Structures are given as structure tokens and as C-alpha cells.
Chains A and B, each alone.
Chain A
Amino acid sequence: MHGPRSRPVPEIAASTHAEVDAPRRRGKRRRGRAAEKQRTGVWYPRWYWPSFITPASISLLILFVLPFYVVFSVAFGSVDFDNFGIAVPYYAPWWWSFDTFNLTLSKFYVEGAIYQDPLIRTFEYVIAASAICLVLGYAVAYYTARFATKYKGLILILLVSPFWISYLMRIYAWQGLLDPDGPINWLLSPIGLGQTNWLEGKSITVILGLVYGYIPFMILPLYASLDRIQESMLEAGRDLGGNGRQTFWRVTLPLSRPAILAGIVIVTLPMFGDYYTNDLLGSTKTSMFGNLISVQKEAAGGSTRAASLVLLLSVIVMVPMLYYLRETKRQAEQA
């Protein structure tokens, strides 16, 4: 759909094209440079724009690529049982041993499959929590963007305000609220749920805990997207005969699709690795994938298994990530 959102793609594409081809075809490069100079009146050396991304690249290298390599080295390394089971990473790939990794992987489907339940549970919780986040978050974002008028700023501040208090503190507060003798049960007692022990390992508690923790990350991109949809687009929808509902389904929703995808990716990725929500609000009965990692990390000699689980988790979270990348690429091509 061509609307106010579509960027001046062709122009940018032309100039980057010239840049990329430059070193091999000098003549063309000069023309490209001349063209750019003509267009913008300024010429920058080739390294100028790429240099903007250098600090990020370096930090990515130091803070992501290297640590990730260390995770590989630990997962495919060994542990020293004489030294309290501390990990002995093998940094050289030719020393890598895949025994522990294979053993860990096998626990998902053989040997009593002790990791299978937490894996399935993790998917259930993440899907349920993301869906709730999306439904609740979309409603809030929609209202804020369309109808909140003068309260818009206030609502946005309120949405961000939970971040002023540490997540840990807020979850401790929930522990108090959900206590068997706490206010939640007091409120629920008229409908006969006053005796519920919410903290004994109930799936619903953990799912709602996840929703509580991550919903702001869903609302903010949705709001940003919905807020940018121009009134004229909706008017056009109505002009063409759509009623309110049809306009929503055929104009608003498609226009906010990229934000929905972004929101889902932003909340599901950390949810897959979340372990503290369950640590604080659940029990072993609601163990998630992240808990498997944290238990192994704490156990003597468990580092290798913990690292193996981290690698497996990375594979899992890569699925929504790749889907997101594919979708955004497709949308960019369409635009």
C-alpha cells in the first residue's frame, strides 16, 4: 500500500547502488559521486557513513560475538570435577567434544525425556502470554493513539512508569498480593476462590506474571505505529464505503501489522529465556526453559549442560526472529 508511510525508496536505492559498485568501476563511481554531489551538494568520503556504525559493530563484537563464542567453547568443552565442577572451555574448535551437547539434546526425547515437559510448557506459556499481551496491548495502544487526545502524554507516562521500579521489587509486591492470605484472595473470596494458593506453581500465575512483565514492550511499538496512521487513510477507507469495523480490519490492522510483528518478537524473545518470573511466582511444576539453564548453571559441573541448553534456546528463538526478518523484508519489497 502506498501511503504516507512509504519511504522514498528508489532514490536511496540508487545512491547505495552506486556506492557499492564504486571500487570496481571507477568511471561509474565518479559519475555516481558527481551525481550525488549534484543532488545533495555535499560529497562524503566512502568511509564516512560506514564509520557511524563502527562503535555499534565493535560493541556487538565484544559484547555479543565473543561471549557467544565462549558459550560454544563451554558447551563443547569439559568440566573440572576436582575444581568444583568449574567449566573448562575448549576455545579451539578442533578440540570440541559434543558428548554433553548430545546428552543434553537427548534429554528432550529419550532417557525419560526430563526436558520435554519444560520445553512444551515454555511454548505454551510464551504463546499464551504473547497472545494476551497482544490483545490487551493493542486495545490500550489503539485507545491511546486514537482517542486519548489530551491524556495521551499521561497515559504514555503511566505505561512507562513501572520501569521506575525494579522488576524484582514489583514481583515481590505481587508475591504479597497473591499470598494465600493476601488482598487478591480477599477480593476473590465472594466468588469462592478465596482459598487459592496462587504461588504453589500455577500456570496461570506464571503466564500473567509474564504478561505483566512484558506488556509495555508490546504497547509501545503498537502505539508508535497506530499513532502514525493518518486520519486521511481512515477517511479514505470510509469514503470507499467501509464502515468502522471494515476500516479497522482493512486499513488500520494491515497498516499496524509490522508493529504487531515487532511487538510479538520483542516480547517472545525474552520470554523464552525468562526464568525469574517462574522462580518468584511459580515452582518446579511450572519450570520453563530458562529455569533448566539456571538450575544447571548453579549445579556443580553443570556449566557445560547449561551452555548446551543456551545454544538450543538460541535455535528456538531464531525461529520467530527469522520469521520477523522475512516478513519485514517482504513488506519492504512490497512498499
Chain B
Amino acid sequence: MRHPKDVSRRQFLTRAGGAAIAMPSLAAILAACSKPGESASGSGSASEIPIATLDNPVELPLTAETIPADTPLESGPLVLYNWADYIHKKVVEEFEEEFGVSVEITTFNNMEEGIQKVANGQVTPDVFVPTPGYLRRLVDKQLVMPLQHELVPNLEAVVWPSYSNPGPYYDLKANYTVPYTIYTWGVAYRRDRVSDEEAAAAGWDALWDPNHAGEIVLYDSYGDTIAVTILRNGSLDVNTGDPALITAAKESILETINENQAALKINGIYAKLPAGDYTVGEAWSGDIVGAQWYLPKGVGTDVLGFWRPPTGQTMIGNDLLVVPAAAKNPRLAHEFINFMLDEKHGYDNFVNWNGYQPPFTSIDPDKLIDDGVVPENLAAAVVTEDMFKKDLTPVELPPSVDQLWLDAWAEIKAGA
């Protein structure tokens, strides 16, 4: 029979063992909480890099060396982190074939999700597709690597010269980015239910029209939908910090949701409008061009329409291709970027499935229509270089302003 003291000694040992296991994590926790205030300054911007606007273009500092141009090709697989349904599978397969690697496509549903997962390392892609509004912080947090331009010759050879010299306002000299696609904002509609004249007369107000109740769709994306509503409400201040404008936009959005059953969807235009679920919707130009591949059999592309406000009264933008700093296949990533900027592949991606236009000098807007590549009824969805000089540009919002937008959106989503 054991002496009770044995038991307690054994217990002690067990407990000590447990404590030994627990200790390292406890130490990590204590280390993590030793100075919580430092990185949590919140409003005070710790970054040296100013927010880029058209009037204040920014040359982003180089946070690392570019990879040498003679870096050997990695064996992959190349991880592409992209919006859902935002690249033509066939073009990706051609890349796989040419380089003998596989490409893994991981998708996000909205920009916030994509950025968060890259920032906290949940996803470590080789190529990522952000919008310019996040670039400054991506560079500041050293989450993207500078591009080795020798490996991306197509940027200068194929893309509009303004994207390499002087470079876009958010990335002068194109230190980090190349453009993936360009697009504008407007109203997409079903021409079998709304005539072109009606759509043009209504403009943005079509999204508030009780006649379309139950058949209106807005993007489930706070930046886009609030900015469009600001335009609809008669202001051109699409980067506003004015609480009155933001509140008014919030109330307008709630109004069309509550009274017209407007839906918030990300695939409303390219997938659901061609299926007939919606009659009108807030649309990125590329979505409505891509919608033709989602039409049911037997329905012609002439049912799709796109209204764009007069030049200077809507927004223009582009998406980017970047190589995250944590990329495991940086050389392959450069090759992929260059591949997508190739005249043939980029064009193929645009006209055969994606619907989003690349800013290539070889693409003649008039010819797109003449050749029937873009249906004539979607002529307004074709983007020209001129628009970038005259239209409005949504830029990064300072944190305090962004919070106003997010709060308004949270209220909309809460169904208040």
C-alpha cells in the first residue's frame, strides 16, 4: 500500500509537468503584452508615407531589394490570391503549360477580407490583386516586394505609358505595382425591361426606383456603394470626410433597401442580372461586360445595358498585381505578372471571359465595339485613357474618415 505522501509527490510532479508545458506559452503571452500601447496608437499615423491622391502622387520608398533578374525559376505551385471569378481559367492553364508549374487560385469575397488575410499571414500568395487604396499600408508594413522591372518588360512595352512613366499617382515609377484591369462605375440594366432612354434619364436614380422594387442590386462593398450613393445624392466628393454626406448616403441606402428591397450582393451584376434576378444594379464596367458569359442559353447579349454618368461625374479605377513580400515563388510571380500583361493573354482574359479591360495601348476602344468584342449596347463600359484624367478617383481614406464610412455600413448591414 502506498503512503499518501507518495501521492502528493506524484501529484506535484504531474502538476510541475503541466506547468512546464504551459510555461512557454505563458511566457509568449507575457512577452506579447509587455507593451501593448505601442503599436496600438490608433489615430496617430505612424507611417512616414503620405496618402496618395491625384494632386499628391507618391513615390513609394523601396523597403527591400528587388530580386535579381537572374533568379532561377521556382518549381511552384504559384499561389494567386484573387477575387472570385476574376481571371480566365484558360489563360491560367496556358501559363501552367508554358512554365510547367501549377497555379493555385485562392479567392476572397471583398477587399477587406483579402487584405486582412495577407496582412496577418493566413494566406501567403505569390501574386495578390489589391486596389490602390491599400497599397500605401502594404508597403509601409513591408508586405509587398518591389518589382524587378527587367522581369516585367511588358509593363513598358504593352501597357499605357502613363503606368510606367511617370507611373500612377499611387506608385510613381511603378516600384511595386502593375495595373491588372481598369474599370468605371455606372448602372447596369436589363434592356428587355428598361429602355436605354429610360436608363439614361433615370441615371443613378434607377437604383431608387420603386418600379424596380425587388429587382435592384447594390454591391456588398462599403466603399463602392457609399461612394456611388454620394454621387447619386448630388455631390462629387467620393472621398468625403463630411459626416453629413456620409449620413445622408447611409439613409439613402437604407431607404432603397427597406422600400425597394434592394439587395446587397457581390455577384449581382455579373451572375444574377444576366440570369434575370435583377433589373438594375450598381455596376463596375467589367462586371457587365463579363455578364455576357453568364446569360442563359438562347438569350442574346443585347439584353445587357450599361449607363455611365457624363465624364467627370463618375469614378474610375484600376486593380493591381503585386508580389507579396512573403511570396515563396517570387521569380515565378514576376513571370506571371508579365504573362498577364502580354498583349495576347491580357486581351484573351478580357474578351473571352473576365470582361475587365487591361490598359493596353494595343486595345482600340472603337475597334472593340466594331469587332463586336464588346456588344454595342455596352459601349459605355469601355474605358479610355482620357477618363483617367477627367473622372473621379476614389483614394485611401484616413482611418478616422474610414471609420465613419464603416460605421455607416455597419448600421446598414445590421438592418436598423
Contacts and interface: CB of A to CB of B under 8 A. Distances in A.
A301 B397 CA distance: 13
A50 to B, nearest CB: 11
Interface stretch (A10-18, A112-120, A222-230, A234-242): A112-120
Contacts of A286: 415
A231 interface: no
Interface string A20-59: 0001001000000000000000000110000000000000
B4 interface: yes
Contacts of A46: 7
B115 A84 contact: yes
A200 B263 contact: yes
Interface in A235-253: none
B406 interface: yes
B134 A88 contact: no
Given A46-B7, A86-B120, A285-B257, A81 B110 contact: no
B323 to A, nearest CB: 18
B302 interface: no
A295 B33 contact: no
B40 interface: yes
B29 A91 contact: yes
B40 A301 contact: no
A114 B416 contact: yes
Q: Which of A23, A80, A90 has the most CB of B within 10 A?
A: A80
A134 to B, nearest CB: 27
Given A81-B43, A197-B261, A200-B263, A114 B116 contact: no
A295 B413 contact: yes
Contacts of B119: 83-84, 86
B414 A79 contact: no
Interface in B360-416: 399, 402-403, 406, 409-416
B409 A299 contact: yes
Nearest to B265: A283
Contact of B36 (A45, A90, A200): A90
A91 B32 CA distance: 7
Contacts of A283: 257, 261, 263-264, 415
B345 interface: no
A102 interface: no
A92 B410 contact: no
B295 to A, nearest CB: 15
B214 A291 contact: no
Interface in A313-329: none
- Kindly state the interface size class of chain B when it binds its partner: 35 or more
A300 B42 contact: no
B112 A300 contact: yes
Interface in B105-148: 110, 112-113, 115-116, 119-120, 134, 137, 140-141
A84 B416 contact: no
A179 B276 CA distance: 11
B75 interface: no
A137 interface: no
A257 interface: no
Contacts of A84: 112, 115-116, 119, 134, 137, 141
Nearest to B402: A300
Q: Which of B47, B276, B416 has the most CB of A within 10 A?
A: B416
A121 B415 CA distance: 10
A47 to B, nearest CB: 8
B235 interface: no
A301 B400 CA distance: 11
A284 interface: yes
A300 B401 CA distance: 12
B56 interface: no
A287 B402 contact: no
Interface in B284-308: none
Interface in A55-100: 77-86, 88-92, 95
Contacts of B416: 112, 114, 117-118
19 contacts: A80-B42, A84-B112, A85-B116, A85-B399, A86-B119, A88-B40, A90-B33, A91-B32, A92-B29, A112-B416, A283-B257, A283-B261, A283-B263, A284-B413, A286-B415, A292-B413, A299-B222, A299-B410, A300-B402
Given A201-B261, A287-B415, 15 more contacts: A83-B137, A85-B399, A92-B33, A92-B36, A117-B414, A118-B415, A180-B214, A283-B261, A286-B415, A287-B413, A291-B415, A292-B414, A298-B110, A299-B410, A300-B112
